Amino acid sequence: MNNLKKYTLVAVFVFLTAVCFQHPGITSAATTITIDPDATYQTIEGWGASICWWGNQIGRWSPDNRNRLIEKIVSPTDGLGYNIFRYNIGGGDNPGHNHMRDYADIQGYQNADRSWNWNADAAQRAVLTRLIERGRYYGSEIILEAFSNSPPYWMTKSGCASGTSDGSNNLRDDCYDDFADYLTEVVKHFRDAWGITFRTLEPMNEPNSDWWKAGGRQEGCSFSYANQQRIIKEVGEKLKAKGLTGTTVSAADEASIDTALEGLQSYDATTLSYMSQLNVHSYFGSKRAQLRDLAKSKGLRIWQSESGPLSFNGDMADSCIMLSKRIVTDLKELQCVAWLDWQIIDGGNWGSIYVDDASQTFTLTEKFYMHANYSRFIRPGYTIIGANNEKTIAAISPDKKKLVIVATNDNKSSSANYTFNLTRFSGVNSTVEVYRTSPSLSLAKSIITASNKIVSDTLPPYSINTYVITLDGGVESVPAVGLQSYNYPNRYVRHADFDARIDENVTPLEDSQWRLVPGLANSSEGYVSIQSVNYPGYYLRHWDYDFRLDKNDGTTIFAEDATFKLVPGLADPSCVSFQSYNYPDRYIRHYGYLLKLERISTDLDRQDATFLIISDDSPGPITDSGYIMAYFKQAPGEYGLNLCYSTDGLHWRNINDGKPVLYAQMGTKGIRDPYIFRKQDGKFGIVATDMLGTNWGDTSQYIHYWESEDLINFTERLIKVHNKSNMHAWAPEVFYDENRKQYGIYWAGNTDYNRIYVNYTTDFDTVSDCQVFFDPGYDVIDAHIVSDKGMYYLFFKDERASGKAIKVARSSSLTPNSFTVFTPNFITSPNTEGPFVFKDNNSDSWYMYVDIYSNNGIFECWKTNDLNALSWTKVTGISVPPGVRHGSVVKVNRWELETAISRKVVTPPAPTPPPVLKGDVNADGVINSSDIMVLKRFLLRTITLTEEMLLNADTNGDGAVNSSDFTLLKRYILRSIDSFPV
């Protein structure tokens, strides 16, 4: 951490009093809920519903009567305020069938003779048009999705639009392209003829269900996971071919969250490339967090696109309470950006509105008001924030001036006393609007008073309660702090695999960052809970006297286990100690580097139980917000240092428009294999191989070194790492040895074969003589070291002709020659080198990138949750800038990231390396039949080629070496062509 500030106990209490403790003690009789604006989650796109089948019904009413009802759906003042609507593209059932429920037989637009009927489905279209008009009148962003329940009956195996006799796949194998053409042609006609653009197109509905059977009461069609991918690809290709760039594919609207997870896990990269959105119905299943994390890792927006009281026994009041709790669970755990109802108009517990077709009149139900408790107040653009109660959701407006809380009392006979702690906000208006829905209340408005940023209220039995609070001063942000050990000042409290310990050189840094927020069990002055920065909603809590990082489950026991009283440091009163709230004779202390809750008796105990609170004055947060990758390009004129960035570690974008941010001005003026790292003083360091182009035969005694505070301005020098005249120094990297208090510069050198050597330095100016650091007894290059859980891992390339694979050695120290190889060839892709490894900022995953050098700029990515294991999974769907070679990654905070990507860097022209001699595969300076033999052996995989040879072998210039290059070379030797393609 840079510019660290250490807080004395007095300063800590001044800070906590100013930010957190601005109210009298809260009585324990109430359920206390702390609203945490630092715990930010998804931004809401909106609320809505499907239009079928009620649109097919209401569209037949007179315009005036229809419009009066629609007003109750779109109005944000006295209606639901919905802005998202799903239009059903009907398949159309066999005209001779008569088994659909009322209004569920949606007309299709294409007849069996392939003619089009654009007058079809007039009723549903009339409703859609009015919804759009009135929604826009109210200033809402109207988001539309088109979806299908079934293909037209004449494309099905059964000849029926409700399914097959056994509920299996019903789309004929020869009609996948026809069905995709049908759906996309309808979408195109809506855009071109009627000016309506659907943002997404969903070709399926609950596809992995077995209830879609012939003769059913509604359209439906099953698709296996394999067939789901097939239709998604067909639809995606048709959208692209027809120029429907404003529409992308959503999928798969499974009825179960767990089924959706299983399906998404099966999708390949091509399928995912056509998708922008995951749709799921929350009727069944529980694996919301797993589905959320997987969808986010695939870059998919998440919608809860249909729900309701399916298979629910109970009356309307029971149904409303159940659905209210489901909405909160979906928003919190699934983190969907939209929540959609199924039927707005229906009978029983399903309907938010009951209608009388004969009189064309309607009645609003309790379900209508329950939905309005959410949709009328948590508006599009609001962000979900922390609320430590499983039946409560909180959201803040985009301008941070309005806070909305929705709380449900699911007790049928008793009121509930709730206290909302709003002390994390700068200013809270004393007037609070409350809207209540229950069996006897229909969004009934009342006014209560906030006192000292505390809102106390009694929730009626079986009620949904919405609180609208005006914020006068925005958010009173609690800064992130570190908790430094008193007697081990190089160690900080951190979480690792959800265990709590003190550690040094914490990676990622945010694992050791905390917010001291008002105590969950007692938020009066002096009591705190210790919330994780990178896991909002997770707190340090004791469990059997050990400490873990756990998610707040809203229970009393959790709140008590996670609450502590700040007291003067037991070993030094200028520091702090943490006294347990529910075990006041015990304190947080470290023992064997693990955090424990223990009684304190000795001087050593007191030192172990004393901590310093550390903050950071540098611009921006001290937490890691992203990653910057350093790399080089193997292309004439571009032998400089390039940078790109990512916020998720998988999708990378260039900095400086893909141009080098610097060129070497010393040595050969060529750069290869750059390694970027963070120095102990917080500055950035970069080392690189001093080589121009692909001059593999050149020896080198020097490496490049640059230093920078902002990755904009650099200082440059050469570092001499050995004195041998017949040895190179390739792919240097750096570690910091805490025991030596020195940096180790390690690199590959070759007297007889490549070993890994190391020099030690404190200033990157004066370095020690080199010594062997790692030598497994065979040729190795491209060493890369990371540490985790007290173990160091050295990834390297086996450079033997029989090897050419990535391996790993490990050691419990950084002592030279202490590493032992412990894996087989676990990355065996041909022509693989340059491994670099880093931990994901938001999970326990580690990513390893490797350079497929035969393709001149293709990276593969692999993933594991345990560096000590042999299990790595290849990651698909990554994106890196073209031409990226042999990279490395450093983690950066928001300020550093924004600085690096926002400024253009002017660089001098690059030195021009010697030109590639196409066809000279053996790199002997001439092109003849021996080059054909060498290339043939390479294609048969009996030999490997150097990078210079690979560049020369790429005779057609497509960036890869394959049989087409062999054919061109053979034609050139036989003089049937005079030159190679440019």
- Computed from CA positions of residues 496, 500, 502, 508, in that sequence, does the dihedral angle turn out positive or negative? positive
Q: Determine contact, residues 212/169, Cβ cutoff 8 Å.
A: no
**HEC string of 617-660?**
CCCCCCCCCEEEEEEECCCCCCCCEEEEEECCCCECEECHHHCC
- How many angstroms separate the CA atoms of 600 and 587, rounded? 7
Query: What DSSP assignment string belongs to 196-228?
Result: ---SEEE--SSTT-S--BTT-SS---B--HHHH
- Taking the CA atoms of 89, 95, 98 and 102 in sequence, report the sign of the dihedral they define: positive
Cβ proximity of 671 and 888 under 8 Å = no
Q: pLDDT value at position 894? A: 66
Nearest to 759 by CA among 777, 747, 750, 741: 747
pLDDT of residue 961: 84
pLDDT of residue 18: 46
126 phi and psi, to 5 degrees? Answer: -65, -40
* Structural domains of the chain, with CATH: 4-20+478-616 (2.80.10.50), 49-306 (3.20.20.80), 627-902 (2.115.10.20), 915-982 (1.10.1330.10)
Q: Which residues of the chain have pLDDT under 50?
A: 1-5, 10, 14-15, 17-28, 617-623
Alpha-helix residue ranges (DSSP H) falling in 477-536: none
Query: What is the length of the chain?
Result: 982
Kindly state the percentage of the chain with pLDDT values over 70.
92
Instruction: Tell me the pLDDT tens digit for each residue of 73-125.
Output: 999 999 999 999 999 999 999 999 999 999 999 999 999 999 999 999 999 99
Measured distance CA(179)–CA(95) in Å, rounded: 19
Strand arrangement of the beta sheet that strand 820-821 belongs to:
780-788, 791-798, 805-811, 820-821
The CA-to-CA distance between both ends of the chain, in Å, stands at 51
Q: How many CB atoms lie within 10 A of CB 123?
A: 18
Give me the pLDDT at residue 623, please: 46
**CA distance readout (Å), 218 to 87, 97, 160, 826:** 15, 12, 10, 51
Instruction: In whole angstroms, give the CA distance from residue 589 to residue 579.
Output: 10
Q: How far apart are CA 684 and CA 810, in angstroms?
A: 26
Both tokens assigned to 593: 């580097």
